[in-house]
Amino acid sequence: MLQSQRSRRRCEGTAMGAIVLDLRPGQGIGPFSLGMPICEAFAQIEQQPNIYDVVHVKYFDEEPLKLDIVISFPDHGFHLRFDPWSQVVLFPV
């Protein structure tokens, strides 16, 4: 069995409806991957409004480049952290 197949996990959210996302340790979750630009993440969200219907974007309004940008999916129990300078995914939480 390939290493990537062994390390794959499933992530299920059930707050508003069940979704199943592939959790790829060190790589990403579902359609979101480490290093993905924030514009691509928003494109994925916009392409699937029935799945990602509640999305919160959090950033430090006074100094936007000081703290990470976070896209939160409260109904599904995960967040994406983006570097404020490069605006790429640092870590799916």
Question: By residue range, what is the domain housing residue 12?
Answer: 3-92
Q: Please give the Cα distance from 4 to 88 (Å, whole number).
A: 22
Task: Report helix, strand or coil for 37.
Answer: strand
Instruction: Tell whether pTM > 0.75.
Output: yes
Angle value at C-alpha 74, between 73 and 80, nearest 5 degrees:
35
DSSP H helix total and E strand total for the chain: 2, 8
Residue 1 has pLDDT above 50, yes or no: no
Structural domain count of the chain: 1
Residue 87 has pLDDT above 90, yes or no: yes
Per-residue model confidence as pLDDT tens digits over 61-79: 999 999 999 999 999 889 9
Q: Please give the Cα distance from 22 to 11 (Å, whole number).
A: 6
Mean pLDDT (whole number) for 78-93: 90
Q: Please give the Cα distance from 79 to 69 (Å, whole number).
A: 10
- Give me the amino acid identity at 9: R
* pLDDT the model gives residue 6: 43
* pLDDT the model gives residue 17: 59
With CA atoms as reference, report the closest residue to 31 among 21, 39, 16. 21
